[in-house]
Structure 1
Amino acid sequence: MRQAEGNATVEFIGWSVAIVVPVVYLLIALAQVQAASFAVVSAADAATRVLAVEAGDDALTHAHLAAGLALSDQGVRAPVQQAMSVTCVSEGCTSGAVVRVEVGVGLPLLSGLGDDVVHLRAERFVRPAEREGT
């Protein structure tokens, strides 16, 4: 009788790598999208809180700082001046404004090859704080 020869160990390792590597890559990509989604919502919330309580010329600057901090907490590297915008609903923003934060997320390990794959956006409505003396 001939002894059976085979490459079961090699096949097991090969199939394991072929299955495990894409699954791990998918989990990492989904984790990055989830973190960016949380960052966008947190940035919009933080900016609206600042604008709701602070009036004056520095309110928008402080809102940008709050949004930038919220984005950086989740590892999102986006220029806050481009990612966040404030649009007035009426003249002079007396009846409110819409704060929009928008960022893109690229694929892990492939971010240098192309554009962002997923674009995330969060919008919040805010009634700006009343200026003193008005």
Structure 2
Amino acid sequence: MLRDQFASVLKEFSSLVMEDISLDETNNTATFTVDDDIIINLHYLVESDMILISSPVGAFGDLASPDAGKKALALLKLNDLSGGACEVTLMLDGEGELVLAADRRSANTISSTDAFAAWVEIMVRSVRATRDYFAKHFPLES
């Protein structure tokens, strides 16, 4: 029942943003893009009626590089600070190459288009804040 409610919220949100967004029937996932630069991945966890939202932030770089420790500390700092990315969890993917922003919520709390849009906005702000921080403190070498 909650999955159907969330699917309905996605359908309504989809019509507002004029993009086809719906849960895949086989794996309960959906993906869409915000402002052509932020990918939003959704995964509905049927067993717990939880929704996982994640977004790739950017490349972390080589774990053996001299600044890897500073970057790791920056991720911890961004996770702990007020504002910025604190409303989501920042982590590395399984290979340690990509920084991901992620959060999960109960399907009960995402019962309206406004609630879903606000959640997506939190993710978008967090991704942008993290990208800005890394661009400022760890600029790419030319």
Q: In terms of Rg, which structure is larger?
A: 1
Task: Give the structure-2-normalised TM-score.
Answer: 0.28
Larger proportion of helix: 1
Larger proportion of strand: 2
Task: Give the structure-1-normalised TM-score.
Answer: 0.29
